[in-house]
Amino acid sequence: MPGSGKDGAVNGGPDEVELAARLRLVVGRLSRRIRIDGRESLPPLQLSALVTVEERGPLRLSELARREGVSVPTMSRVLTALDEQGLVVRMPDPQDARGVLVRLSEAGEQRLAQVRSHRTALVARRLERLDAAQRASLVAALPALEALLIDEP
């Protein structure tokens, strides 16, 4: 079955390799374009940390750093910036009196809603440029694209 080898190389024929390369390129460029056009006041790591806290509930600093793939000191600086903006709340960890959990504040929830709304509007404007057949193709492709988001066991 075609897939990815241990070294990350794509197994399969040239068509599959070309599909993987084109998909990577278009998804990356579209994502970058949305970030640039969005002109959010939050840097990408701060925004990503907010989304992770929202999705995973209150988290310890070390767990948030692990999930974001950064060091604890880096995440500590990110949380300090988010805390200064009132976007997160730090609270005692009931499991460990020395520990602290981080959750979204009401302002953090509102900021995420604003960013999502703005980015959705940006994508909607781009979709308006497509003809009906192209939009129908995207609708048909969404289940497959969403399946790509599921991590391998």
The 8-class DSSP code of residue 41 comes to: S
Give first-to-last CA distance, the chain, whole Å.
16
In one-letter notation, the amino acid at residue 128 is: E
Residue 103 CB contacts under 8 Å (≥ 6 apart), including other chains = 53, 57, 58, 88, 89, 91
pLDDT one digit per residue (tens) for the chain, 153 residues: 445 555 555 566 779 999 999 999 999 999 888 888 877 778 889 999 999 999 998 999 999 999 999 999 999 999 999 999 999 999 998 888 888 899 999 999 999 999 999 999 999 999 999 999 999 999 999 999 999 999 877
Q: CATH number for 42-136: choose from 1.10.10.10, 3.30.1330.10, 3.30.470.10, 1.10.8.10.
A: 1.10.10.10
Reported pTM: 0.76
Helix axes 61-68, 72-84, angle to 10 degrees: 110
How do the domains of the chain map onto residue ranges? 42-136
